[in-house]
Structure 1
Amino acid sequence: MRGFIFSMMMLLLPACAGTTITTLPVPDPLRDTQWQLLDIQYLDDTVLKPDTAGKYILRFTSDGSVSIKADCNMLGGSYTYTSPSGLEFGPLRSTMAFCGEKSLYNRFTKDMPFVRSFVIKDGNLHLALMADGGIYQFSPLP
């Protein structure tokens, strides 16, 4: 029996030698979605929440761009999705209005360049900062 299996393998190997295996691209699960911030959780157990729902919104578009409403300011730029869960934002341009002392705008501008991955769990989007720096949790918007 062993000889038979070996013979079959020898017959099949030349047929497979020139074969190229192609993988299909994985669709971007963030494309054409929008999310509102629920909270930000840092490793030191600090949890920050927006004072009003809808003040912090992420919108991912089909052309690979992202727009971010961060309190009274708007940020915009590009993002790169890498299967299965990689995410990086390109340079983000921003308006520069002062939103008040309790605004999370400064956190957004400081943290977004350090986003490296995401997961969608229980319907919510979780953005992870590099080196386990923190997690931004968003709920979906229609």
Structure 2
Amino acid sequence: MKAAIAAATAAVLTGCSAPAADAASSLDGTAWRLTEIQSMDDAQGTTTVPADQLYTVDFGVREGESGPAVFQIDCNRGSSTWQASAADSGSSGQLTFGPLAVTEMACPPGSLDQRVTRALTAVRSYLLQDGRLHLSLFADSGILTWEPTD
């Protein structure tokens, strides 16, 4: 498990030879649904997001350095800004969200809402691979895996 996370993190941080602007702009206007949370903590391991819980991010189109981001975090809604700078690979780079404004509804027991909210504030980079978006967290503490919402 730790090897898989380390490999994904290494893939995010390495580059090849595509124009840097294309990778960051590939997030513009896209929408994603969270499917999995990988943690470096062996006690938590990998968590598959239950089908009855909805976690999404909609990346608004950037104008200049940043753009709007809108989140569904189970029973709560959130908003922020996002900034990205692409690596040479054309499919990865640095990514951060600004301060998150999130509603404070009490979600049902078993909800991952607080865990996901904390993780979103720790996002530092992204990797687009095999039709999925992988967001790596600060200090290699985990990876959030998303699929397109179609």
| 1:81 corresponds to 2:84 | yes
**Contact (CA 8 Å) 1:37, 1:56: kept in 2 or not?**
yes
- Structure 2: runs of 5+ lacking an equivalent: 1-18, 88-92
Aligned counterpart, 1:31: 28
- How much has 1:112 moved relative to structure 2? 1.0
- How much has 1:44 moved relative to structure 2? 2.4
Q: Which runs of 4+ in 1 moved over 4 A?
A: none
**Contact (CA 8 Å) 2:53, 2:111: kept in 1 or not?**
no
Looking at structure 2, the residues matched to 37 and 112 of structure 1 have their Cα atoms a distance apart, in angstroms, of: 11
Instruction: Please point out which of 100, 107, 111 is paired with 1:92.
Output: 100
**Contact (CA 8 Å) 1:118, 1:128: kept in 2 or not?**
yes
- How much has 1:53 moved relative to structure 2? 5.7
- How much has 1:83 moved relative to structure 2? 1.7
Between 1:86-95 and 1:50-59, the stretch displaced more is 50-59
- How much has 1:54 moved relative to structure 2? 6.4
TM-score, length basis structure 2? 0.74
SS in 2 for 1:103: coil
* Greater gyration radius: 1
**Contact (CA 8 Å) 2:20, 2:85: kept in 1 or not?**
no
Determine what percentage of the aligned residue pairs are the same residue. Answer: 33
Deviations 1:87-127 (A, max 9, x none): 00000101100112211110122111110000011010000
Looking at structure 1, the residues matched to 34 and 85 of structure 2 have their Cα atoms a distance apart, in angstroms, of: 22
Aligned counterpart, 1:59: 58
TM-score, length basis structure 1? 0.78
Aligned counterpart, 2:14: none
CA RMSD of aligned residues (A): 1.6
Say how many residue pairs are matched.
119
**Contact (CA 8 Å) 2:133, 2:145: kept in 1 or not?**
yes
Looking at structure 2, the residues matched to 29 and 53 of structure 1 have their Cα atoms a distance apart, in angstroms, of: 29
Question: Higher relative contact order by CA 8 Å / sep ≥ 6: 1 or 2?
Answer: 2
Looking at structure 1, the residues matched to 52 and 145 of structure 2 have their Cα atoms a distance apart, in angstroms, of: 13
Aligned counterpart, 1:68: 71
Deviations 1:6-51 (A, max 9, x none): xxxxxxxxxxxxxxxxxx8713111000011110000124111222
Aligned counterpart, 1:130: 138
**Contact (CA 8 Å) 1:36, 1:54: kept in 2 or not?**
no
Instruction: Please point out which of 27, 35, 40 is paired with 2:37.
Output: 40
